[in-house]
Amino acid sequence: MRLFAALVPPDEVLDELELAIAPHVGQVPGLRWPARDTWHITLGFFGEVAERTLPELETRLARAVHRHQALDLAFAGFGAFSSPRRARVLWVGVTGDPMTRLADSVRAGARRAGAAQTDGKPLRPHLTLARAKVETDLRPLVESLSGFSGSPWRAERVRLVRSRTGPQVRYESLAEWALAPAGRG
């Protein structure tokens, strides 16, 4: 199973984001815009995980998530990997409470459970909006979206998601855990 842990923003926040990008969808040749129901903020990508590892992974992720408070976040700033001039991925940035400690805990829990991690990159909070198979100059698109600033929202849950690849990527939520209420302690 191909698995990752993620935050999924609330519908009303995704509505704002969808409205902001709507005039641009389909306007850049070669840029594919995944379905909105696949939008998420990845905390940890675990790659292929054996089914026998799943119970231990769920236990360790639950423990990791419960140690952290809910996060106050917002979407702001668009960018591209590797750069807007030579892009393969268009993204919107995430501002607000730092999520590095949460991501580190989630990733450590997965490692302890024996879930191989093929992604050792440091966390760069973002939500992927579009992808290109070849490097594409997205500077005009990034610039035209630069004025967008989304409403604040609270991330209160972390999901364990199974990714099914193929002509159309599909995601299946396997488990979900609540973060501790914000402001505790």
Dist. CA 120–CA 79, nearest whole Å: 21
Residue 5: both structure tokens together: 């842990």
User: Sign (positive/negative) of CA torsion 109, 110, 114, 116?
Assistant: negative
Give me the catalytic one of 24, 66, 68, 126: 126
Contact between residue 7 and residue 96 where contact means Cβ atoms under 8 Å apart: no
Give me the catalytic one of 24, 40, 66, 68: 40
Annotated active-site residue 126? The verdict is yes
| Amino acid identity for residue 49 in this structure | V
Q: Where are the beta strands (DSSP E) in the chain?
A: 2-7, 31-32, 41-48, 71-81, 87-96, 126-136, 153-155, 157-164, 170-178
Catalytically active residues are: 40, 126
